[in-house]
Amino acid sequence: MASSKSSSGSEALSKMSLEQLKAIKEQADDEVNLLQDSLSNIRNATARLEIASSALNDLSLRPQDNWVLGLKGPHHLGVSVLLRLLSKWIISIKFVGKKMLVPLTASLYVPGTLDDADKVLVDVGTGYFIEKTTNEGKNYCERKINLLKSNFDQLVEVASKKKSIADEATVILQAKLKQLTPST
């Protein structure tokens, strides 16, 4: 069955029996769903990266504000920065002398002071963190975003091809069913 899927599309599909057609349609639908999930994952990750990147931007532009560290996402009191939790590319920031609120739990914040606003620790995966300047951090975010965007585009291509196969299979299946059970 798998080999006939890759051969000349609709002719191969229409030659197949009803059972095979149903199986192929289901398989193609499952694949399309998987691909859609991956696509939305990539979109989420890209969004998080862009948030981190803009936070870095703000950090470098406005170091005088009071800072609030958010556990789950940026709130806008001055600007807050994402801490490591959900995202892989969350950046933890060492601060400089400014007053800020540090989250200890999701509902408990403690006042603290900043240490150094020029360096950021970037989570690069597998437990490794790299100290970079805010500019390098921004570069990192941009690189990752570009990588994700190209992955996204590739996936979109594959997904649309799979979807067209699934749609064709559905159409042919319905046509065959109509042939077998003509309703007057």
Partner 1 sequence: MSSSTAFRELQRELETKANDLSKLQKDIAKNHQVRKKYTIQLGENELVLKELDLLKEDANVYKLIGPVLVKQDLAEANANVRKRIEYISAELKRLDATLQDLEEKQNSKKDMIFKLQQRIQSLQAGKGKA
The span from the CA of 94 to the CA of 107, in Å, is 21
Q: Which of the residues 104 through 163 are near partner 1 (CB under 8 A)?
A: 121-122, 124-132, 140
Cβ distance to partner 1 smaller for residue 9 or 112: 112
H or E segment and range at residue 67: strand 67-68
User: Measuring CA to CA, how many Å separate 182 from each of 9, 22, 25, 176?
Assistant: 26, 19, 22, 10
Least CB distance from residue 147 to partner 1, whole Å? 9
Q: How far apart are the first and last CA of the chain?
A: 34
Least CB distance from residue 125 to partner 1, whole Å? 4
Cβ distance to partner 1 smaller for residue 79 or 122: 122
The span from the CA of 144 to the CA of 140, in Å, is 6
Least CB distance from residue 83 to partner 1, whole Å? 13
SS (H, E, C) 7-56: CCHHHHHHHCCHHHHHHHHHHHHHHHHHHHHHHHHHHHHHHHHHHHHHHH
Cβ distance to partner 1 smaller for residue 15 or 94: 94
Cβ distance to partner 1 smaller for residue 148 or 166: 148
Q: Can residue 183 be called a binding residue for partner 1 (CB under 8 A)?
A: no
Least CB distance from residue 88 to partner 1, whole Å? 9
Q: Total residues contacting partner 1 (rule CB under 8 A)?
A: 12
Least CB distance from residue 128 to partner 1, whole Å? 5
Cβ distance to partner 1 smaller for residue 10 or 30: 30
The span from the CA of 86 to the CA of 76, in Å, is 19
- Contact residues toward partner 1 (CB under 8 A) are 121-122, 124-132, 140
